Amino acid sequence: MASSVVPKMVSIFCSGDSSISFNACFTHMFFVHLATAVETGLLLTMVFDHYVAICKPLPYKRILTPQVMLGMSLTITIRAVTFMTPLSWMVSHLPFCGSNVVVHSYCEHIALARLACADPMPSSLYSLIGSSIMVGSDVVFIAASYILILRAVFGLSSKTAQLKALSTCGSHVGVMALYYLPGMASVYAAWLRQDVVPLHTQVLLADPYMITPATLNPIIYGMRTKQLQERIWSYLMHFLFDHSNLGS
């Protein structure tokens, strides 16, 4: 998801090359939003994996076979392509006869649709309803899975097992919050007038959910690793101890 936007953003910031061809911009838009649609499906499959691992640990390998994992991956991809293909077709067939400046850090759908000479409402409405249904259904299934997971976790007799399971789920909840909260805020803010939500605020809302999860994922998941915790603690103690000796 981050790879679909970061290269062009880096090119703009470092070399000042902000130009992009008409076809390349629509291709860029397709893959940017395709990646975001795939991401929400991946978060749902991760919850399913946690559910099976915690609630049905013994038949885990029998349930999550390579064929099942491949089937879930294909389903996520097909769903994303099915959602994005009509949206890309609607936007690319709008008449563009005015400004050719995309006021955004990447080729985002709403920013492109606003450049059209015709009414972009059909594509914007499709985007809003489609993303709301997709994310809403995923969040419902995620919430239902976590209810079952928490019931199973608090039914465990071992406190250590409870903490381990909660730690695993906590990391996933953190990643979901980094993705869903700014993502949906960006979608709904784009629908409001610029005098309600300034344009620079809309851009700043749209960027974090594309870049922040990928940036913080290694930290969120890595800090659960005992060896990494020990190394960081050792480094911090060594750093503080050396500085205290230098000060004295």
Return per-residue pLDDT of the chain as tens, 248 residues.
778 888 888 888 888 777 888 888 888 889 988 988 998 898 899 889 888 888 888 888 899 999 999 999 999 999 999 999 999 999 888 888 877 888 788 888 888 888 888 888 888 889 888 888 998 899 899 889 888 888 888 887 777 777 777 777 777 788 888 888 877 777 777 776 666 677 777 777 777 777 877 787 777 777 767 777 778 878 877 777 665 555 55
d(CA 216, CA 56): 30
Measured CA to CA in angstroms, residue 189 lies from 87, 182, 203 at distances of 19, 10, 10
List of residues 6+ apart from 161 with CB closer than 8 A: none
Name the phi and psi angles at 102, rounded to 5. -85, 110
Q: Which residue has the tokens 């990646």?
A: 35
Which stretches of 56-154 are DSSP H helices?
Answer: 60-63, 66-92, 109-113, 121-153
For residue 30, what are its two tokens? 């397709």
Are residues 43 and 142 in contact, defined by beta-carbon separation less than 8 angstroms?
A: yes
pLDDT of residue 242: 67
- Amino acid identity of 184? M
Are residues 33 and 45 in contact, defined by beta-carbon separation less than 8 angstroms?
A: no
d(CA 77, CA 98): 35
Considering Cα of 132, then 137, then 143, then 149, what sign does the dihedral take? negative
- Amino acid identity of 133? I
d(CA 212, CA 186): 14
d(CA 123, CA 89): 9
pLDDT of residue 71: 94
The whole-angstrom distance between residue 141's C-alpha and the CA centroid of its chain comes to 17
Q: Which residue has the tokens 């620079």?
A: 200
pLDDT of residue 244: 56
d(CA 213, CA 179): 6
d(CA 227, CA 219): 13
List of residues 6+ apart from 113 with CB closer than 8 A: 91, 94, 120, 123, 124
Q: Which residue has the tokens 């940017």?
A: 32
